[in-house]
Amino acid sequence: MSNSKISIILPTYNEKDNVLPLIKAIHAELCGYDHELLVVDDNSSDGTEQAVADLKDPLVKFILRTKNRGFANSIRCGLENAAGEIFVVMDSDFNHQPKYLPFMIHALSHYDCVSGSRFLYGGKMLPRSRHILSWIFNIFIRTITRGTITDSLYGFFAIKRNTIERCNYDNIFWGYGDYCIRLMFYLQKNNATILQIPVINGARKTGAGNSRFLKVFWQYFTESIKLAYKMRREQYARKN
């Protein structure tokens, strides 16, 4: 798969000071690969569009979204506009470290999807309190959905185009990071082969991340319950 074209999806909202060095770091890691970067921006007010345009980088495609904005919708937009046979989705603030990209792409020679996990041996995130809460919540997701993914919240993955396109995007891409719970659920349902690799959560260069921690977790909780209910309802229908 290392000879296939790679499309990196970078959803942004007021991340100008992070996404510019991130673009440079990604190019450095993928200098030997045929790749493109899609910066999918939710109409940022910090000058992201002009800053990316000023790069004059032929490998970077900027997509401005002014309607139906939102994190998961931006990712879907990037996927639908990507030209590659391999898709990589990652945050635009260095939480997802570019150094993992070559291994993730190489591993797609043997798997349908490669997903980063903070909860395998060698992975971690800070602060420790959030690490523990996220770890517990991922155990909850695995239990009620009967899955095997150790980190359904991280959203840093490389995947073959033909694998993700077997999923119905309407069932997955809305909301915030809960899209990743749904994506991993449907990938497992479709019997996709998924390699999980340990990753260390990176640190933002500038700015502040999402501070609505409890609100976001409540959203993730309700979406997990809905998936579990849907799964059991389908199982019941098949038996009857």
Q: The domain that contains 124 carries what CATH number?
A: 3.90.550.10
**pLDDT of 142:** 94
What whole-number distance in Å separates Cα of residue 86 and Cα of residue 76? Answer: 15
Q: What is the pLDDT of residues 97-115, one digit of tens each?
A: 999 999 999 999 999 999 9
Assigned domain for 175 exists: yes
Q: Are strands 157-160 and 113-117 parallel, antiparallel or unpaired?
A: antiparallel
Domain count for the chain, please give it: 1
Q: Look at residues 145, 138, 137 and name the one whose alpha carbon lies nearest to residue 228.
A: 145
| 223/58: higher pLDDT | 58
**Cβ-Cβ contacts under 8 Å for 46 (sequence gap 6 or more):** 14, 15, 16, 17
Round the average pLDDT of the chain to a whole number and report it. Answer: 93
Judged against a pLDDT cut of 70, whether residue 208 lies above it is answered with: no
pLDDT band per the 50, 70, 90 thresholds, residue 236: low
Please give the C-alpha separations between residue 74 and each of 10, 62, 69, 79, 85, in angstroms, as whole numbers.
Answer: 9, 12, 7, 9, 19
**pLDDT of 1:** 64
Assigned domain for 183 exists: yes
Assigned domain for 93 exists: yes
Assigned domain for 161 exists: yes
* pTM score of the predicted model: 0.92
What whole-number distance in Å separates Cα of residue 62 and Cα of residue 225? Answer: 36
Domain residues for the domain of 130 are 6-239
